Chains A and B, each alone.
Chain A
Amino acid sequence: MPRLPPVLISQAARLDRHLPLLLRECRDLNSARNELRWMQEAVDEPQREGSIGTRSAGPHDHALASFVKRRARGEPIQYILGTQPFGELDIKCRPGVLIPRPETEVYTTELARIIQKVQVEAEATSKHCYIVDFCTGTGCIALLLHSLLKPPTPQQHGKFRQLRIRGFDISQHALRLSAENTHHNLELRALHKDAVQDICFEHLDLLALAQQPKEKIITTLYHKYEAQPLDLIVSNPPYISPQQYKPGGSTTKSVRKFEPKLALVPPDSLLFDGVDQADQFYAALIRIAVASRARLLVVEVGDTEQALRVRDMCRAHQEAWIEIWKDDNTVVSDTGVPFDSRQGFEDRIDARVVAMWFDPEWIKWRKQSLVRRN
C-alpha cells in the first residue's frame, strides 16, 4: 500500500486526534471522518436513553480510543460495531462469518423487484414463491428478500402469496448468526412477523449435495410444504482462487486477516474435473438447479472473467437464457451485448452476477421486460 502523504496526516490531526490512525485503514479523509462519526455514535448510543447533559467524559473516550485502535489495525468496522445495515435491515456481524457487501445488497434488491414482477406478470406462475439461498452466511440475502417481498409495514402488502425461503450453510457460526438476525430484525420491526415461519436456516454441505443422485437432490429441496418448482436459487458462494487470496493477490489484507477463509476460498480437494478451484461451487449450483428444475439461478461472481466461465459452464450443461449483471446494474447478454444504452464489458466495470433463466415462461417475460426497459 502506498504511504499516506504527510500533508494529509497533519490535516487529519488538526481536525481530530483519532483521524490519523483511522486514515491508515480508511485511506481517505472523507471515509475516516464518516467512520469516526459512526464509532462516536455507537459509543454514545446507550447514553441517549438517560438524561441529556450528564455525559461523563472518561469511559466513553476510552471506548472510542479502543475502537479506533482496533480499526487502525485493519479490523473491519462491522466486527467492531457488531452490525452492518443491509437494505432496511440491521445485520449482526461477528468474526467467523463473512460481512455482507454493498454489491450484494444492490443485486438482491434488484432480484426482489424481478421476483415481484414476474409473479404478477408472467403466466404459469402460482401464488406461491419458493426461494433457496445457498451459502447464506449472516442470512442477509434471505432476510432482505423477505423484507422486500413481504414488507413489514401493513399499507404495503396487497395480494399476498405464500412465501418460503430456506437458507443453507455449512458453518454452525453462520447458522447461529442467521437465526439471531431473524429475531433481531423482527424486534426492530424490519421484518414481517411471518418471517419466523416463512424463513428457515439449515445445515447443508452444498458440494456434498451436488454429488448426490438427482432423486436425492429433489427430496432434499422439496418437502411437502414447498411449492414446485423452485422459483429461485440464489447464492454468494466462496469464489476466490488461492492465487487471488495469497498475500500480494487482489484480496485485501483486512479481509484475509479478519474474515473466514471458509467463506472465501473453495476447498482444494476438487470435486469437478476440469473446473477451476475458484469455480467449484458454480458447477455444484448449476447441477443442483438443473436437477431440481429451478426456474432461475442467480450467483455472485468475483469479476468479468469468472462470469464468462460460469456462463460457459451453464451453456454446456443446459439450455438457458443467461445474463450478466455488472456493478452499475447494467444487464449484459451472454454474448456481451448490453440491453440498454450503457456499455458492455469494455468500460471495465466488474461483472458481479450471472443470472441463468431456465423456465420458458419466465424467459419469455424477461425478454419482453428487457425490451420495455429501453
Chain B
Amino acid sequence: MRTLLSPLPNLGNISPGVPGRLRLLRTLSTSIPNLKKNDQLPPRPNIPDDSFTKRFLKGSGPGGQKINKTSSAVQLTHLQTGIVVKSQATRSRTQNEHIARRILAEKLELIEKGTESRVAKKQERASRKKRSAEKKSRRKYRKLADENPGVRAGEEGRQDEDLEEESEEDKDEEELGASEVVKMRIQLPLKPTDQVER
C-alpha cells in the first residue's frame, strides 16, 4: 500500500499537452511499450511539488507537549487553478497528503485530457466489467436453474462467480472516503461519465 500511495518519481519531462488546453500536469512521457490489451490504463498522473501549497488543518490554541491533538487533515491548493483538495481519510498526515495529491492530479488530468484521462478510462473499464459480470451471472443462473429447478437468482448465483480479482489499483479508490474536492473554481470541459455511459 505504501508504494501505491507514494508519489511517482519525477522523470522531469513536461508533456507537450493538447494545444488550446491548459497544461497542468507533468505526465510521464514514457509510453508503455507493447500494450497487451487495449484496456491498459495510462500511467497515474502526477503534479510538480511547487505547483500547490499545503496546509495542515488543526484547531486553534497552543500546540506541542501541552496538548495532544489528533487532527491529521491536509489541504492542498493548486496555484494555477485554485482547486482545493482536502483529505482526512487516515490518521497519517503523510498518507493524507499522498491521497489529496493524487485526487488533485486526477482532477487536473481530467481537465486536461478528458476521456483520454486515466480516471475516465478506469470508470469505463469498471462499468464494462460490471456489465459483463451481470451477463455472466445471468448465464450461470439460467444454467443452474436448468439443472436443478428451484434455485433462486441473486446473491448465490453471484458468489461463486469467477469474477476477476479486484486489482491493487482498483482498491485504492476506497481509501478516498474522507477526502474531497473543496473548491473548484474552473469548470470541467466535460464529464467523463457522460462520455463513457452513452
- A binding-site residues for B, Cβ under 8 Å: 26-28, 30-31, 34-35, 37-38, 76-78, 84-85, 87-88, 98-99, 101-103, 105-106, 153, 155, 189-190, 236, 238-240, 244, 250-252, 254-255, 259, 263-264, 300-303, 327, 350, 352
Contact = CB atoms under 8 A, between A and B. Distances in A.
Nearest to B5: A88
Contacts of B67: 251-252, 255
Given A34-B88, A250-B62, A153 B68 contact: no
15 contacts: A31-B70, A34-B88, A38-B91, A76-B68, A85-B72, A85-B94, A85-B95, A102-B72, A103-B63, A189-B2, A239-B65, A251-B66, A252-B67, A259-B68, A350-B62
Contacts of A350: 62-64
B68 A240 contact: no
Contacts of B72: 34, 85, 102
B64 A103 contact: yes
Given A77-B70, A102-B72, A239-B65, A153 B6 contact: yes
Contacts of B129: none
Contacts of A190: 2
Nearest to B9: A155
A99 B69 CA distance: 10
Among A34, A35, A239, A352, which residue has the most Cβ atoms of chain B within 10 A?
A34
Among A26, A31, A352, which residue has the most Cβ atoms of chain B within 10 A?
A31
A31 B64 contact: no
B178 interface: yes
B93 interface: yes
Contacts of B9: 155
B75 to A, nearest CB: 13
Given A85-B93, A87-B94, A250 B66 contact: yes
B94 A101 contact: no
Given A34-B70, A251-B65, 5 more contacts: A31-B71, A88-B2, A103-B63, A255-B68, A303-B64
B95 A34 contact: no
A350 B61 CA distance: 9
Contacts of A240: 65-66
Given A34-B88, A102-B58, A190-B2, A352 B95 contact: no
A352 B94 contact: no
B56 A99 contact: no
B39 to A, nearest CB: 26
A99 B95 contact: no
B56 A101 contact: no
Contacts of A302: 62, 64-66
Interface in B38-83: 56, 58-59, 62-72
Nearest to A101: B64
Contacts of B68: 76, 78, 99, 101, 252, 254-255, 259
Contacts, number: 89
B69 to A, nearest CB: 7
Contact of A244 (B3, B66, B69, B92): B66
Contacts of B123: none
A178 B93 CA distance: 21
A150 B93 CA distance: 20
Contact of A352 (B64, B91, B92): B64
Interface in B169-187: 178
B64 A300 contact: yes
Contacts of B95: 85
Contacts of B92: 85
Nearest to A42: B91
A35 B56 CA distance: 17
Contacts of A263: 65
Interface in B151-181: 178
Contacts of A303: 62, 64
A239 B68 CA distance: 15
A85 B90 contact: yes
A239 B95 CA distance: 30
B28 to A, nearest CB: 14
Contacts of A77: 70
A34 B178 contact: yes
Contacts of B69: 101-102
Nearest 8 CB-CB pairs, A to B?
A85-B92, A251-B66, A252-B67, A103-B63, A76-B68, A85-B91, A250-B66, A87-B94
Contacts of A155: 9
A257 to B, nearest CB: 11
B189 to A, nearest CB: 33
A41 to B, nearest CB: 9
A254 B69 CA distance: 11
B84 to A, nearest CB: 16
Contacts of B71: 31, 34, 102
Nearest to B69: A102
Given A34-B88, A85-B91, A102-B93, A264 B63 contact: no
